[in-house]
Amino acid sequence: MEICKKEVEEKNNLARIIELCKNYPSFKLALNVARIDKLSVLLTGESGTGKEIHAYYIHQNSPRANKPFKTINASAFPENLLESELFGHVKGAYTGAHNKRDGLFKEADGGTIFLDEIGDISLTTQIKLLRTLQSGEIKAVGSDKVEYVDVRIITATNVNLFEKISSGKFREDFYHRLRQTAINIPPFREKSEEEKRKSINFILHSKAEELKLNEIKLSEHVLQVILKHKFEGNYRELENIINELYVKVVNNIEIDDVLEITNNYYSPSGTVSNSLKNSDKTHDYFIPMTLDEHIMAAVHNTIIECEGNKNAAARKLIMDIKTLNRWNKKYMNRVSLINTIGKNTIG
């Protein structure tokens, strides 16, 4: 019952978001795309711009609306498990495959699959997906039996697929199959002021309902500060900033309250510069700091503050554990690179 209730709440929230955004240019284009059912769709845009919502909107306005809508983040699975998630597996196909399992393609037969982070999948999986795109053919892992499905595929990426094609990491024929039509979703900072205001007011209202708090009212001066923020993290960053306003501000919100949150968004510990600068005290290669370096250091610092408890660090940063691990890995790789450079320079 709890799961069903959550699903209903999520669908209701999606419906409210779509009602807010349906007149935006990217949603108008998505509506046109939805009606032409046979085309596969590639959604492009920065992380946090709402690609999954666009995919859902396409599905809901297509002839497949009453059929399943399945989503998967391709970067969340290693190659063998991703193929199992997509195509299913037979009993004994690999260690741990104790029972037969249908994949998402079979579960979504007649409906739509949304594949996020499509640029991260292996060349082997690209070949298998290409076959499915061309003929509807699927084959479960560990099986020789060919089955056929009727599924519309919507994919998304926030990376440059042309660069991946040039480097041999992405098949050009696969790209052309995915991109029978495409929608580029602009970042939040490029929205009109009217669109930004609507989004801010919508999230203020939604968060009040979600957190069961009185809705925050923003003065025009405070709203102007928020509107001028760059929002590199797009809608996710806006949502997190509003979360912090609800958590940290008890009385009337002042401009300083907003500035404290927005200025420290990528450095919650307040020691980002020192942490990166001192990661190898012999060298100052991290200065000037880039946005990525701020995020890496913020994540690494928070893990240290939480005594290595990554789940606690993720909660503190209002970040999912997969994202936290990715940024921490980037940090460690950067430190390792600097140490290597330093040794070579000193040597």
The CATH number assigned to the domain with range 2-186 reads: 3.40.50.300
Listed residue (233, 235, 312) closest to 266, CA to CA: 233
| Dihedral pair phi/psi, residue 57, rounded to 5° | -65, -40
The pLDDT score that the predictor gives to residue 251 is 63
Show the low-confidence residues of the chain (pLDDT under 50).
1-5, 268-289, 341-347
Give residue 273's pLDDT: 37
Cα separation, 236 vs 101, in Å, equals 34
Tell me the fold of 189-263.
Helicase, Ruva Protein; domain 3 (1.10.8)
Distance, CA of 259 to CA of 255 (rounded, Å): 6
Give the model's pLDDT for residue 285: 32
Q: What does the pLDDT read at residue 120?
A: 92
- For the chain, give every residue range classified as CATH 3.40.50.300: 2-186
Tens-digit pLDDT profile for residues 7-32: 555 666 677 788 888 888 999 999 99
pLDDT tens for 90-123 read: 876 676 666 878 889 999 999 999 999 999 999 9
Buried b (16+ CB within 10 A) or exposed e, 27-38: bebbeebbeeee
pLDDT for residue 337: 60
What pLDDT is recorded for position 292?
61
Residue 32 to residue 269: CA distance in whole angstroms: 46
* Cis geometry, peptide bond prior to residue 288 (ω within 30 degrees of 0): yes
CA distance 124 to 33: 29
Written in H, E and C, the secondary structure of the chain is: CHHHHHHHHHHHHHHHHHHHHCCCHHHHHHHHHHHCCCCCEEEECCCCCCHHHHHHHHHHCCCCCCCCEEEEEHHHCCHHHHHHHHHEECCCCCCCCCCCEECHHHHCCCCEEEEECHHHCCHHHHHHHHHHHHHCEECCECCCCCEECCCEEEEEECCCHHHHHHCCCCCHHHHHHHCCEEEECCCHHHCCHHHHHHHHHHHHHHHHHHHCCCCCCCCHHHHHHHHHCCCCCHHHHHHHHHHHHHHHCCCCCCHHHHHHHHHCCCCCCCCHHHHHHHHHCCCCCCCCCCHHHHHHHHHHHHHHHCCCCHHHHHHHHCCCHHHHHHHHHHHHHHHHHHHHHHHHHHC
